[in-house]
Every structure is written in C-alpha cells, then in structure tokens.
Amino acid sequence: MAEHATLWRPRGAWADTARPGRHGRREGPPGLIVTPREGLALASVTAVDGAEARLAEAIEARFGLSLPEPGGAHLSGEAGLVWSGPDQWLALGGARGDLDGLGAALRGAAAVADQSDGRAVLRLTGPDARRVLEKGVAVDLHPRAFGPGRTAVTAIAHIGVQIWQRDDRPTYDLAVARSFAGSLWTWLEAAAAEFGCEVRASA
C-alpha cells in the first residue's frame, strides 16, 4: 500500500559483505579490482527439445547474437547469453527488467525463469585476477585454454559458481547462488589479500 511504498527498496546480494575500499596488501596498485554487480537482469533459458533452431532465431532477433555453443559466452555490452548446461543458457541484461518479455518471445522454443536475484554477480579484473581465480577454480584459465567469450560452470571453495570472461585484460564475471554470497566473499577476500584488492561501489 501507498504508505509503505518508500520501504520497498531492493537490497543487493553483496550488501552485507562487500565493503568498498582497499583490502589486503596496501602497497602498490591493486592486483584485483572487484565490482559487485547489482540490479542486473538474469534469466535461465531452457530449450524445448527439438526447438533449438527456432530458439536460435529468436535469440538472434532479440539480442543480435547467436546462441552460444557449449562453454561459450556471447556478449554485447552487458547483454548476452552464457551457456550454462546442455540446452541451457543464462540470459543477461544490464538492468533489472531488461529481460522482461523474454519468456513470451521464446514461448514454444524455450522456458524462461527469472534469476535476476537468484544469482549474485561480481566483476573481477586487474593484473592478478586470473591468479586469484586459480586459487578457487579447478578449470584451466590460461589464455590458451580459456578467454573472452568462454564460460565455465564450476566450483570455488565447494560453492557452485559460473564464470565467464569478458575481455583479455582480463575481466571475468562470476555468478554464485545468492545465499552463498557471504561465504564466496570470504574466500575471495582471503585469496586476493596477497595481491591487494580494491572493492568498488556496486554498479
């Protein structure tokens, strides 16, 4: 009701954990720069068996991107699709609501379920970003094995995560189930400490 309207503000998945500022080693430039990504639009897209071609067409029409192959992340700015399992993708949009209507657009070709708040996302970049991730991820992130446009569904510190690489600076986005954000953050802070870590305000 109207008298409560001002109270209905979203609370970020990282609100309890990510403190902006410098963490770990103080000297020199930070090896890792972390930006909590709040307010994104995320949705799981599960293909209807036999409708993959129609799905690819519909994705092309909406995103201007082809449907990613296994292990692929097709991105255009903040929008795109990230492969997340056989016949499954995670659709991305830069702002809450960006994926509204996706379910209708893909009807008959795929089931869409909103995950905007189901996953908590961090953007990791900096000269030591890969070295930090290596402490948690068993997947080979070397440029010969991984790179921009690649994704992996894996685990860090026994917590299921999905990472996709955005560019070769390198910049990675990391998604974790929302309830695990606190534990994932504790690991990240410990893993990044030796390199120095700058946490930016969420964006």
Partner 1 sequence: MLDRRPNFAPSPAEGGGLVGSQPFRTAAGGLIDRRRARDFTFDGRRLSGFHGDTLASALLANGVRLVGRSFKYHRPRGILSAGSEEPNALVELRSGARREPNTRATMAELYEGLEATSQNRWPSLAVDALSVNALLSPVFAAGFYYKTFMWPAAFWEALYEPLIRRAAGLGRAADAPDPDTYEHIHAHCDVLVIGGGPAGLSAALAAGRSGARVILVDEDFSLGGRLLAERREIDGLSGPEWVEQAVAELKNLPEVRCLSRTTLFGVYDHGAYGAVERVSDHLGVPPAHTPRQRLWRIVARRAVLAAGAIERPHVFGGNDRPGVMLAGAVRTYLNRYGVLPGHSPAVFTSSDDGWRTVADIAAAGGRVAAVVDSRSEVPVALRRMAESAGAQVVAGGQVIGTRGHLALSGIAVRDSYGGTLHIPCDTLAMANGWNPVVHLDSHLSRRPVWSEDIHGFVPGTLPSGMVAAGAASGRLTLSEALESGARLGAEAAESCDFTATAPATPRTDPESTAHTPLWRVAKPKGKAFVDFQNDVAASDVELAHREGFRAVEHLKRYTTLGMATDQGKTSNLAGLSIMAELTGQPIPAVGTTVFRPPFTPVAIGAFAGHHRAKEFRATRHVPSHAWATENNVQFLETGLWLRPAYFPRAGETDWLQTVIREVETVRSKVGLCDVSTFGKIDIQGRDALAFIERVCANPFGTLKVGRSRYALLLREDGFVLDDGTVSRLSETHFIMTASTANAARVMQHLEFCRQWLWPELDVQMSSVSEQWAQYAVAGPRARDVLKRIVDPGFDLSNEAFPFLGAAEITVGGGIPARLFRISFSGELAYEIAVPAAYGDAAWRAIMGAGLPYGICPYGAEALSVMRIEKGHAAGAEINGQTTARDLALGGMLAKKKDYVGRLMKERPALTDPDRPILVGVRPVDPSQRLRAGAHFLAVGAEPSLAADEGTMTSVAYSPSLGHWIGLGLIRRGHERHGERVRAYDPVRGGDVEVEICNAAFVDPAGERMHG
> From residue 52 to residue 81, what is the string marking binding to partner 1 with x (rule CB under 8 A)?
------------------------------
Residue of 144, 143, 196 whose CA lies nearest to 172: 143
The residue whose two tokens read 């929302």 is 178
Beta strands in 48-149 (DSSP E): 73-76, 79-85, 88-93, 110-114, 119-125
Least separation in angstroms between residue 180's CB and partner 1 is 6
> Contacts with partner 1 in 76-135 (CB under 8 A)?
88, 110-111, 113-119, 134-135
Pick from 34, 41, 44, 152 the residue near partner 1 by CB under 8 A.
44
Query: 26 with 82: CB under 8 angstroms?
Result: no
Beta strands in 77-181 (DSSP E): 79-85, 88-93, 110-114, 119-125, 151-156, 159-167, 171-177
Residues 88 and 100: their CA atoms lie apart, in Å, by 18
**Given the complex with partner 1, which of 78 and 134 has the nearer CB atom?**
134
> From residue 146 to residue 185, what is the string marking binding to partner 1 with x (rule CB under 8 A)?
-----------xxx-----------------xxxxxxxx-
Which residue(s) pair with 30 in the sheet? none
**Given the complex with partner 1, which of 20 and 143 has the nearer CB atom?**
143
The residues binding partner 1 (CB under 8 A) are: 1-2, 4-5, 7-13, 15-16, 24-25, 38, 44, 46-49, 88, 110-111, 113-119, 134-140, 142, 144-145, 157-159, 177-184, 186-187, 190-191, 193-194
